[in-house]
Chain A
Amino acid sequence: MSQLTQQAPFPGVFYCRPSPDSDPFVEPGSSVDANTTIGLLEVMKQFVEVKAEAAGKVLEVLAGDEQLLEAGDDILVIDTSGEGA
């Protein structure tokens, strides 16, 4: 199985859902492609959507909601072995 661990592109506060009352953007088992938003990263009071870096299935979400991330910290793991299937 080929996997991709996606990392934070810049430091910030990670949000796994669009608002406190909403469902998470993705969960283990969710299918993603390069247009799928996997979370929000807040940097200097601006919110930036983080898109999945590869198509596949989410295996694990490593970053917690409202967790402070440094650039390069792990966000989630995507199983890319079924890509294109």
Chain B
Amino acid sequence: MNGRLLIANRGEIAVRIVRAAQELGLTSIVVHSEADAESLAVQLADEAVCIGPAQAAKSYLNIDAILAAARDCRADAVHPGYGFLSENAEFARRVEAAGIVFVGPDAGLIERMGNKSEARATAMAAGVPVVPGSPGPVVGIDEATSVAGDVGYPLLIKAAAGGGGRGIRTARNESELREQLPLAQAEARAAFGDDSVYLERYIERARHIEVQILADGERAVHLFERECSLQRRRQKVFEEAPSPALSEKARQQLCESAVALAEHVGYRAAGTLEYLYDDDSGEFFFIEMNTRIQVEHPVTEMITGIDLVREMIRIALGQGLSLQQGDIQRRGWAVEMRLNAEDPDKGFFPSPGRVEKLTWPTGPGIRIDSLLYEGYRMPPYYDSMVAKLIVWDETREAALKRAARALDEFCLEGFTTTAGLHRRLLDEPAIQNGDFHTGSLEVWLEDQSQALSQSESQLRSQAQSQLRSQPQSTSVEEAS
């Protein structure tokens, strides 16, 4: 064991893992594409290896190139981060076959929990409630309508191999089910090479709440829950911990069910169990498991004081789980705002560019996980997330006020980000009251865009009336 950790990722999560590795006394080695030679992760890491051209398929998703780099630099372990190959069973299998530790669960578990239909059956076997639906993949329309008879409408048709919100269709009645089922199967085959689909009750006003766990193959502990209901196109935008919706009793039931499921499968790594929570009935249902570190892990770190990335590396290196459930205490409230290089006022169009000027917020309770520095040029080839602003305070109300203060201090010149969107969100009474579900943000964005186009047309008509009243002296630009 030479204490050498290869980080098979980029961006802020690569920076995050470099920091954890250095604090553990490991040599951090990042792989990077040609487009990322100037990245912050490359600058901070002890060593860096170029593995290919800008396109992810030829670099960050190229298993052969990453394995060659791992062998060349004599890596003992590989951390996959999130996205890219982090939940790719073949990658995990080949890393282990090369005699290198994969920082994550074993390939068999990635496969089992990555297949939604199988994960669902596993949860049921562990006594964890799942959304009412088909017990497994449905083959034909007769089976589907029979399931619908038991479960009721509306239904979701979901690809068993899907993920990231892809491969999901809605059916509100039998004729829609007859129409959508073959389309969903064809889509699933085209997108995932597997046409298995299953059915689930569509809970329209549900919250997305997930439980963070750590496990060493025998024992599991939970680090409480995160509320991730504020989503756009099924991508999380704003997360917090704990959830404002749960009673202590519901929290305990939810977290204990996650531990039960992790122990049932002999899970060994950091992981997250995602649930839908029905505010009205207080019921919760398991939906899927993520077998990797997640983007929103810092809010859990802020309320528990536990370094999740460090713990997952320790577990992977065979040091066992150092924590007992009683060691893990929850304190205060944390929120995370994802800052993407996108313009919310232009349909979230990507805005790549160079960082001309950058001022991060500072002060008590503020954490920035980012890939940015002054002079850095955002490559156009990857995800648009450029930073996560995480804010902690003793209460939820104080954390939201501190978040607003932090956003007011933040200054980035060079391209547009979603920071302004978060600032507007924090002024919304529904956000302040914690009163939202997974569909709320989309509705709010739609209202915002209508208000924006109305005010634009008002400005235009004002400008035109001024033009008419002062035809000699006012240009269109001056008037508007």
Contact = CB atoms under 8 A, between A and B. Distances in A.
A44 B384 contact: yes
B382 A11 contact: no
Contacts of A68: 35, 53-55, 381
Given A10-B352, A11-B352, A45 B384 contact: yes
Contact of A44 (B35, B54, B55, B341): B341
B349 A46 contact: yes
Interface in B329-350: 341-342, 349-350
A35 B2 CA distance: 60
B383 interface: yes
Interface in A8-29: 10-13
Contacts, number: 35
A43 B381 CA distance: 6
A12 B381 CA distance: 6
A43 B380 contact: yes
Contacts of B384: 44-45
A10 B382 CA distance: 14
Contacts of B382: 44-45
B196 to A, nearest CB: 23
Contacts of B54: 13, 68
Contacts of A66: 55
Contacts of B350: 43-44, 46
Contacts of B380: 10-13, 42-44
A42 B349 CA distance: 11
A43 B342 CA distance: 11
Contacts of B341: 44
7 contacts: A10-B352, A12-B380, A43-B380, A44-B350, A44-B380, A45-B384, A68-B35
Interface of A: 10-13, 42-46, 66, 68
Interface of B: 35, 53-55, 341-342, 349-350, 352, 380-384
Given A10-B380, A44-B384, A45-B383, 4 more contacts: A43-B380, A44-B381, A45-B384, A46-B349
